[in-house]
């Protein structure tokens, strides 16, 4: 009987439907979309700078990158200069770029720190191509040698020429060349492939440096959700009525609670910063810029948790709403996956979340060694989220504190 | 607007009923005029007016849903009235809300305390909200704890307290800043008789010490015991106001006799109405209701007439004049029946 009553009560609660059905479905869709598990396979845009202009380079562009297998993975974008390619990769317009140097003496792969999958595939493609070019070179060399010295030159002890065209050659004058060793030597020294991370910063972006802020952002939502939840709890317990009866303004009560949890949220993010730096060697970037980014994000997250909580009827419902928003923003914002590895559309959607902007800011600080001025854009965007959220929460707060 | 009585009936009837009722010469401490509050289509408070003199104990009596808590919420600043005016000591709630709030000690119906804090911590927190600081705050905390006999539990968390003890701390919190008016909203709901008695004792002492009270309850006996003047609310309206004596006089000094009957109740009512000493008789469903000067003495005659009329009497109840009877007289329903 009690279970039936509780079940009826839960079903009447709209948050049960949202938390139990809508959120899991939405999360499943987002994850499928992000990992390409549903319909869309991995695909990235890569740049190609052909500084050679010869046939080998043409083969690489047309036959390798243009092959049916790689066409489904990469879309090649021809570029004129290495600098142009570096800028495109650094800004995230391209996931990686190939620079084929004059004489095809080496291939440089420019990789984005936030598009790891594309970078790995590009590296693999370049290394395979280089190995094949080296193998072809070895085969051509042997064919030329056989033509010049005749098949008898290849004795049991290796290559020892006995003739050179019509001339007899005293093979004993040559030291026998071990063909197998020669092949191994050639194979071991293929055309060099140079890997370059397209960041101008002091260090490449490590997982800890990316996911440290990401996870701090996710969990600060739960922490900050405590402020509006505690107001709801006070309303339910009656202490809010007592606070409202006291000679203090309701606004100051709300502001006091907000300030307390905002401080707590900021401190918690700083602690994550310290721990990831000390334990995992993460670098979050210029400390002053990091603090600015964290403060902006805490404000935005406080606004968002407030707006979703003030329209809840109970503390439990508010809890559910905050959890949903925290996870959806984390998923869309790139807190669980490198933003650069996400499909293009999701990279754009990430900009609809403060998480996405914050991660862009942190990536700029870490990978490019930027300072406060370099993250002003993301900070402004995050503060805009905060302003919109608080404006949307205001009518709900008013209605809710006067009921 | 409600029918408001402002005369002093003279002799006190209860510990709270002293010569403190409002007269024209005394400036009211609290004045509520034409308070109206609507929640959607529900008119929760409908043009309610009353005044409380300095040091007076005023009771708001009415069933659940009568509008008592909404009225209190308006005058304590928790709700904004759609119409009407509240002043405390001449200060308007609309114009000087902080001044009015600072003069009121609010004791809500729920135990509005932080259960993870100790009694002293709770008191210190709420005391600071009212501007108490330092030594003064510490002294007041000790004083109110002593007043509610909980000095020895000052450093215990509220969640370790019994229901009655929580209620006492709840009241103590409203007293910290020495308010001019203490507003108590059903302060004894859910407490055992012993704690209830202790609470009423303390509240009476506060009033005797000169503190004005506004006490709401749906328990008639509590209001009679604590308050000198009483306003009776029903359906959001103030339906009567005055001292206990004045209110009882409205139904006369007659006892109310209720006969549960089987048979022709209307005929029996007519027959009983002709008896000497019966002021009024009416039939209602399977009941005959009489107003008579001496109800108990009349019972044998009533039963005899019923038997003669062929009506079986299944139950008899004699209700002597009290506020319950007043409420019944005014509304046709009991105080605990609700809206």
**pLDDT tens readout for residues B78-101:** 999 999 999 999 999 999 999 999
Dump pLDDT digits (tens) for A175-185: 555 666 655 55
- Facing B98 at nearest CB: one of A241, A247, A402: A247
Burial class from Cβ neighbours inside 10 Å (0-12, 13-18, 19+) for residue B273 reads middle
Dihedral sign from CA coordinates of B104, B108, B111, B114: negative
- Is B101 close to A402, i.e. CB distance below 8 A? no
Closest alpha carbon within chain A to B79: A402
What confidence tier does B177 reach under pLDDT thresholds 50, 70, 90? very high
- pLDDT for res A145: 58
**Cα A355 to Cα A371: distance, rounded to the nearest angstrom:** 19
Calculated CA dihedral for residues B164, B165, B167, B172, nearest 10 degrees: 150
For residue B32, give how far its alpha carbon lies from the nearest alpha carbon of chain A (Å). 17
Angstroms from A259 CA to nearest CA on chain B: 17
The pLDDT confidence band at residue A187, using thresholds 50, 70 and 90, is low
Residue to mutate among A239, A250, A253, with most B CBs inside 10 A, is: A239
Mean pLDDT taken over chain B: 85
* pLDDT for B291: 84
What is the pLDDT at residue A68? 76
The strand pairing partners of A44, in sequence order, are A74
Helices then strands, each counted (H, E), chain A:
17, 9
Whether pLDDT at A290 is above 90: yes
C-alpha–C-alpha distance, residues B21 and B59, integer Å: 12
CB contact under 8 Å between A241 and B108, yes or no, is: yes
**Would the pLDDT of A8 be above 80?**
no
Judge: A247–B114 Cβ closer than 8 Å, yes or no.
no
Q: What is the mean pLDDT of residues B280-309?
A: 86
CA atoms of A303 and B214, how far apart (whole Å): 40
Residue A188 pLDDT greater than 80, yes or no = no
Query: What is residue B151's predicted lDDT score, i.e. its pLDDT?
Result: 93
The residues pairing with A168 across neighbouring beta strands, listed in sequence order, are A163
pLDDT for B100 equals 95
Asked if A252 is an interface residue toward chain B (Cβ–Cβ < 8 A), one would say: no
| Mean pLDDT within B309-314 | 90
Residue B214 contacts A, CB cutoff 8 Å: no
Cβ burial of B95 (10 Å; 0-12, 13-18, 19+) is exposed
Nearest-angstrom CA–CA distance, A392 and B255: 61
Query: How would you classify residue A383: left for phi > 0, otherwise alpha for psi between -120 and 50, otherwise beta?
Result: alpha
Percent of chain A residues past pLDDT 90, beyond the cut: 11
Query: Are residues B78 and A237, on separate chains, in Cβ contact within 8 Å?
Result: no
Q: Are A247 and B101 a contacting pair at CB < 8 A?
A: yes
Q: pLDDT per residue over B130-162, tens digit each?
A: 999 999 999 999 999 998 889 999 999 999 998
The answer to whether residue B16 scores a pLDDT higher than 80 is no
Mean pLDDT of chain A: 75
Q: Would you give the end-to-end CA distance of chain A in angstroms?
A: 33
Across the range B17-44, mean pLDDT stands at: 76
Model pLDDT, residue A178 = 62
Report the DSSP beta bridge partners of residue B312.
Answer: B262
Q: How far, in Å, CA of B198 to CA of B170, rounded?
A: 13
**Measured between beta carbons, which residues in chain A are less than 8 angstroms from residue B99?**
247
Helices of type H across A54-178: 55-59, 68-71, 82-90, 116-149
Residue A293 pLDDT: 94
The pTM is what?
0.64
% of chain B surpassing 90 pLDDT: 46
Average pLDDT over residues B291-314: 87
Rounded to an integer, the average pLDDT of A187-213 is: 60
By C-alpha distance, which of A334, A311, A403, A220 is closest to A14?
Answer: A311
What is the distance between the alpha carbons of residues B190 and A186, in angstroms, rounded to a whole number?
Answer: 93
DSSP assignments along A184-210, one per residue: HHHHHS-S-EEEEE---SSS---HHHH
End-to-end CA distance of chain B: give it in Å, rounded: 20
**From B80, B98, B112, residue closest to A238, measured CB to CB:** B112
Are B77 and A241 a contacting pair at CB < 8 A?
no
Residue in B80, B104, B115 nearest the CB of A245: B104
Length of chain A: 403
Instruction: Report ipTM (2 d.p.).
Output: 0.76
For A18-56, the pLDDT digits (tens) are 544 454 444 444 544 554 443 345 678 888 888 888 887
Do the Cβ atoms of B112 and A248 come within 8 Å?
no
Nearest to B37, CA basis, from B4, B86, B102, B3: B86
pLDDT given for residue A339 in this prediction:
74
Tokens representing residue B169 in the block: 């701390």
Mean pLDDT of A132-140: 63
A191 near A136, Cβ under 8 Å? no
In tens, the pLDDT along B194-246 reads 888 888 888 898 899 899 999 998 888 888 889 999 999 999 999 999 988 88
pLDDT given for residue B339 in this prediction: 46
pLDDT mean over B242-264: 83
Q: Tell me the residues of chain B between 57 and 116 that have a Cβ less than 8 Å away from chain A.
A: 73, 76-80, 97-99, 101-102, 104, 106, 108-115
Q: Which residue of B has its CA nearest to A401?
A: B78
Q: Do B114 and A246 touch (CB under 8 A)?
A: no
């Amino acid at each position: 009987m009690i279970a039936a009553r509780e079940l009826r009560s839960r079903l009447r609660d709209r948050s049960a439907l949202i938390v139990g059905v809508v959120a899991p479905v939405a999360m499943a869709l987002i994850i499928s979309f992000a990992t390409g598990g549903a319909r869309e396979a991995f695909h990235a845009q890569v740049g190609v700078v052909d500084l050679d202009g010869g046939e080998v380079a043409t083969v690489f562009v047309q036959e390798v990158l243009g092959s049916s297998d790689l066409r489904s993975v990469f879309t090649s974008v021809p570029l004129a200069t290495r600098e142009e390619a570096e800028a495109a990769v650094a800004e995230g317009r391209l996931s990686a770029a190939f620079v084929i140097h004059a004489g095809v003496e080496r291939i440089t792969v420019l990789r984005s720190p936030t598009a790891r999958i594309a970078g790995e595939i590009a590296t693999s493609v370049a290394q395979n191509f280089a190995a094949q070019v080296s193998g072809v070179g070895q085969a051509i060399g042997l064919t030329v040698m056989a033509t010049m010295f005749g098949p008898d030159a290849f004795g049991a002890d290796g290559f020892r020429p006995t003739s050179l065209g019509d001339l007899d050659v005293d093979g004993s004058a040559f030291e026998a060349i071990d063909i197998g060793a020669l092949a191994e030597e050639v194979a071991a020294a293929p055309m060099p492939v140079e890997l370059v991370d397209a960041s101008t910063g002091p260090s490449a972006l490590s997982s800890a440096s990316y996911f440290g802020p990401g996870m701090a952002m996710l969990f600060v939502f739960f922490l900050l959700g405590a402020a509006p939840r505690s107001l709801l709890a006070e309303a339910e317990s009656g202490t809010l009525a007592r606070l409202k009866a006291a000679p203090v303004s309701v606004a100051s009560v709300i502001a006091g609670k907000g300030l307390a949890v905002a401080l707590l949220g900021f401190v918690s993010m700083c602690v994550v910063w310290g721990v990831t730096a000390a334990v995992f060697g993460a670098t979050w970037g210029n400390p002053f810029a990091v603090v600015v980014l964290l403060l902006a994000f805490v404000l935005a997250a406080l606004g968002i948790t407030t707006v979703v909580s003030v329209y809840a009827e109970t503390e439990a419902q508010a809890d559910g709403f905050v959890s949903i928003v925290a996870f959806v923003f984390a998923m869309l914002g790139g807190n669980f996956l490198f933003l650069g590895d996400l499909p293009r559309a999701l990279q754009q959607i990430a900009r609809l979340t403060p998480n996405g902007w914050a991660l862009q800011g942190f990536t700029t600080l870490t990978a490019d060694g930027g300072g406060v001025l370099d993250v002003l854009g993301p900070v402004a965007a995050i503060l805009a989220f905060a302003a919109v959220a608080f404006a949307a929460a205001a009518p709900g707060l008013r209605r809710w504190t006067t009921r | 607007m409600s029918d408001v009585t402002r005369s002093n009936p003279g002799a006190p009837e209860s510990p709270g009923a002293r010569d403190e009722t409002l007269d024209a010469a005394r400036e009211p401490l609290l004045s509520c005029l034409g308070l109206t509050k609507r929640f959607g289509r529900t008119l929760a408070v409908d043009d309610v007016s009353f005044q409380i003199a300095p040091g007076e104990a005023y009771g708001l009596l009415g069933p659940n849903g009568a509008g008592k808590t909404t009225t209190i919420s308006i005058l304590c600043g928790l709700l904004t009235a759609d119409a009407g005016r509240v002043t405390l000591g001449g200060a308007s709630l609309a114009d000087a809300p902080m001044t009015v709030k600072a003069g009121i000690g609010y004791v809500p119906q729920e135990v509005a305390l932080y259960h993870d804090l100790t009694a002293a911590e709770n008191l210190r927190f709420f005391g600071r909200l009212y501007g108490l600081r330092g030594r003064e705050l510490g002294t007041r905390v000790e004083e109110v704890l002593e007043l509610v006999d909980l000095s020895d539990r000052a450093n215990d968390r509220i969640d370790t307290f019994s229901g009655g003890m929580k209620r006492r701390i709840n009241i103590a919190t409203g007293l910290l800043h020495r308010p001019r008016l203490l507003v108590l909203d059903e302060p004894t709901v859910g407490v055992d008789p012993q704690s209830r008695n202790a609470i009423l004792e303390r509240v009476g002492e506060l009033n005797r010490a000169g503190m004005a009270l506004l006490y709401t309850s749906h328990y008639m006996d509590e209001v009679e015991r604590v308050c000198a003047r009483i306003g009776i609310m029903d359906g959001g309206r103030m339906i009567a106001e005055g001292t206990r004596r004045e209110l009882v006089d409205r139904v006369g000094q007659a006892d109310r006799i209720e006969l549960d009957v089987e048979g022709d109740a209307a005929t029996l009512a007519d027959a009983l109405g002709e008896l000497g000493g019966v002021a009024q008789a009416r039939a209602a469903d399977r009941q005959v209701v009489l107003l008579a000067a001496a109800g108990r003495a009349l019972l044998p005659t009533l039963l005899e007439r019923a038997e003669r009329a062929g009506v079986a009497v299944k139950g008899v109840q004699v209700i002597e004049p009290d506020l319950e009877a007043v409420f019944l007289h005014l509304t046709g329903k009991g105080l605990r029946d609700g809206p």
